[in-house]
Amino acid sequence: MNIDATAPVTKFNQEYFHATLTKIAQLASATEHSTLGPVQEFEMLRNCGALEVVLPGGALDFNKPDMPALLKLLKDVGKANLSVGRIFEGHINTLYLIHLYASTQQQEKWYDGVKEKGDLFGIWNTQGKDGIQVYSSSDSFTISGNKTFCSGASLVSKALITGNIETPERAGWQMLIVDMEKIGKENIDAESWKPLGMKASGSYQINFTGYTFQGSDFLGQPGIYLNQPHFSGGAIRFAAVQLGGAEAIMEGTIDYLKTLNRTDDPFQQLRISNICSEITSGRLWLKQSGKYYDEWVDDDTRKDDLIAFANMTRVNIEESCLKIMEESNRCVGARGLMAPYSLERIFRDLSFYLRQPAPDATRLKIAEFFIQNPGGFHD
C-alpha cells in the first residue's frame, strides 16, 4: 500500500496503520541519524488515526477497556521502531492519565487538541537533583528546574510533567500539562543525549525555568501520579514495546540465516527454537497481563495481584529480550551485526530501552508478594 503522509484518514484504519508501520521500519536507520527525529513517522501515525485510537469513540476507547489489544498495538509500533514506540507509548500513557484524572472540561480541551490539531503528548517524570519546583504567584503558577530523559522532546506539542508543589491548597508531587510551543528551543539540551541506542527517541534534558501557567493546567491532585495499581501496572505498556523490538530481532535473525542458506543447521535451529519460545512466552505474558488488567484494575481486592502480575510481566519480558539478543548474536555472527542489516541498530536500541526504573526493586516486590501469597494466581 502506498502511503501519502499528507492525506489524513479521520478514523483509525488498520490496513493503513500496518502499511504505516512497514514504512516506519524502512525509515528507521535513516531516522536514527536525522537531527529532526521521527517527524515523518508521527505524521503518518497521526494520519492513520493512531494518535486518537484511545479517545472516546476510538477503536481502543479507554471507556471500553481492551488492554490486550492495546498492548498488541504498542508491540507492533515497537517492532517497527523502538524509539517511535517509546514516544507513542508516552502519548498513550498521558491520554490514559487524562482519562483517569482530568475534569470533563479538561478532557474536552486535551482530546480536541489531539483530534483537531494532531497534538502529540509526552510524559516526563524523571529528573536529577535540579528537578521541578512549582510556585504560585498572584493569578498564575511558575516553574523552575529541569527534566531528564524527555522522550520526543523536540516533537511533542504537549507534555505531562511532574514536580513538587507546596502551597496552602496543594502539596506534593503534582502533574501538569505544559504547552511545548511556549518552551524555547534553547531550553532543550540536545547535547544531553548521547546514548548507546534509542537515539531517535531524542530523550533530551529540558529546562522549564520561567514557564508560567494557569491552575486549569494541573492534572488531578498532588500524589495521584503514583496511584496504584495504575502506576506499577502501567509497566506492561513499555514491556509490550520492548517485546516488539525482540520480535524484529527474531524476524531479522531468521531472514539473515535464510539469505545465507543456514537454516538447516541444527545449531542454528536450536537457537531459533529458543528465540521463538521466548517470543511466544512474552506474547503470553502480555496477553494474560492485559486480561488481568481489564478484570482487576477497578477491583481493590485484586490491586496487589495486578501489580505483582505486571511486575512479573515486565521482568520476564526483560529476561526474554536479553536471551533473544544473546541467541541472535550467536546465530548471525559479526557480519549479521553490521549495517546495512538492521540488527545492529535494534540490538543497541533494545539493550538501552530495557533499562527502565527500579529493576531490582521490582524483583524484590515479586518475591514479597509470593512470600505473602504462596498460592498467588492459582485461584
Ligand X SMILES: Cc1cc2nc3c(=O)[nH]c(=O)nc-3n(C[C@H](O)[C@H](O)[C@H](O)COP(=O)(O)OP(=O)(O)OC[C@H]3O[C@@H](n4cnc5c(N)ncnc54)[C@H](O)[C@@H]3O)c2cc1C
Binder of ligand X out of 29, 40, 107, 126 (CB under 6 A):
126
* Set of cell numbers at residue 251: 524476524
No. of helices (H) and no. of strands (E), the chain = 11, 10
Indicate whether 268 belongs to the interface with ligand X (CB under 6 A): no
Binder of ligand X out of 72, 75, 86, 199 (CB under 6 A):
86
Q: Do the Cβ atoms of 84 and 38 come closer than 8 Å?
A: yes
Indicate whether 360 belongs to the interface with ligand X (CB under 6 A): yes
CA 366 vs. chain centroid, Å, equals 22
* Set of cell numbers at residue 168: 496552602
Q: Collect all residues with Cβ–Cβ distance below 8 Å to 52 and sequence separation of at least 6.
A: 12, 58, 114, 115
In angstroms, the CA 147 to CA 125 distance is: 7
Please give the DSSP secondary-structure letter assigned to residue 277.
H
How near is the Cβ of 34 to ligand X at its closest, in Å? Answer: 17
How near is the Cβ of 86 to ligand X at its closest, in Å? Answer: 5
How near is the Cβ of 349 to ligand X at its closest, in Å? Answer: 8
Residues 169-208 that bind ligand X (CB under 6 A): 198, 201, 203
Indicate whether 357 belongs to the interface with ligand X (CB under 6 A): yes
In angstroms, the CA 244 to CA 321 distance is: 10
> Is the CB of 234 or the CB of 252 nearer to ligand X?
234
Stretch that binds ligand X, among 94-102, 109-117, 216-224, 351-359 (CB under 6 A): 351-359
How near is the Cβ of 64 to ligand X at its closest, in Å? Answer: 27
Stretch that binds ligand X, among 18-26, 123-131, 223-231, 267-275 (CB under 6 A): 123-131
Stretch that binds ligand X, among 40-48, 57-65, 263-271, 356-364 (CB under 6 A): 356-364
Indicate whether 367 belongs to the interface with ligand X (CB under 6 A): no
Whether omega for the bond prior to residue 340 falls within 30 degrees of 0, making it cis, is yes
How near is the Cβ of 359 to ligand X at its closest, in Å? Answer: 5
Stretch that binds ligand X, among 145-153, 240-248, 264-272, 295-303 (CB under 6 A): 145-153
Instruction: Tell me the residue length of the chain.
Output: 379
Stretch that binds ligand X, among 13-21, 65-73, 120-128, 267-275 (CB under 6 A): 120-128
> Is the CB of 21 or the CB of 350 nearer to ligand X?
350
> Is the CB of 120 or the CB of 331 nearer to ligand X?
120
Stretch that binds ligand X, among 47-55, 102-110, 313-321, 354-362 (CB under 6 A): 354-362
Question: How many residues interact with ligand X (rule CB under 6 A)?
Answer: 20
Q: Do the Cβ atoms of 222 and 173 come closer than 8 Å?
A: yes
Indicate whether 158 belongs to the interface with ligand X (CB under 6 A): no
Binder of ligand X out of 36, 356, 368, 377 (CB under 6 A):
356
How near is the Cβ of 88 to ligand X at its closest, in Å? Answer: 11
> Is the CB of 302 or the CB of 365 nearer to ligand X?
365
Whether omega for the bond prior to residue 229 falls within 30 degrees of 0, making it cis, is yes
Contacts from 283-289 at CB under 8 Å and sequence distance 24+?
283/243, 285/239, 285/312, 285/313, 285/316, 285/317, 286/68, 286/71, 286/72, 286/75, 286/236, 286/239, 286/240, 286/243, 286/313, 286/317, 287/68, 287/71, 288/313, 289/67, 289/71, 289/236, 289/239, 289/313
The backbone region for 223, taken as left when phi is positive above 0, alpha when psi lies in -120 to 50, beta otherwise, is: left
C-alpha neighbours within 13 Å on the C-beta side of residue 313 = 31
> Is the CB of 124 or the CB of 256 nearer to ligand X?
124
In angstroms, the CA 141 to CA 147 distance is: 18
Write down the residue that cell numbers 523552575 correspond to: 144
> Is the CB of 158 or the CB of 271 nearer to ligand X?
158
How near is the Cβ of 38 to ligand X at its closest, in Å? Answer: 13
> Is the CB of 16 or the CB of 124 nearer to ligand X?
124
How near is the Cβ of 259 to ligand X at its closest, in Å? Answer: 30
In angstroms, the CA 282 to CA 58 distance is: 27
* Set of cell numbers at residue 198: 534509542
Q: In the complex, which residues of this chain contact ligand X (CB under 6 A)?
A: 86, 90, 123-126, 149-151, 198, 201, 203, 352-353, 355-360
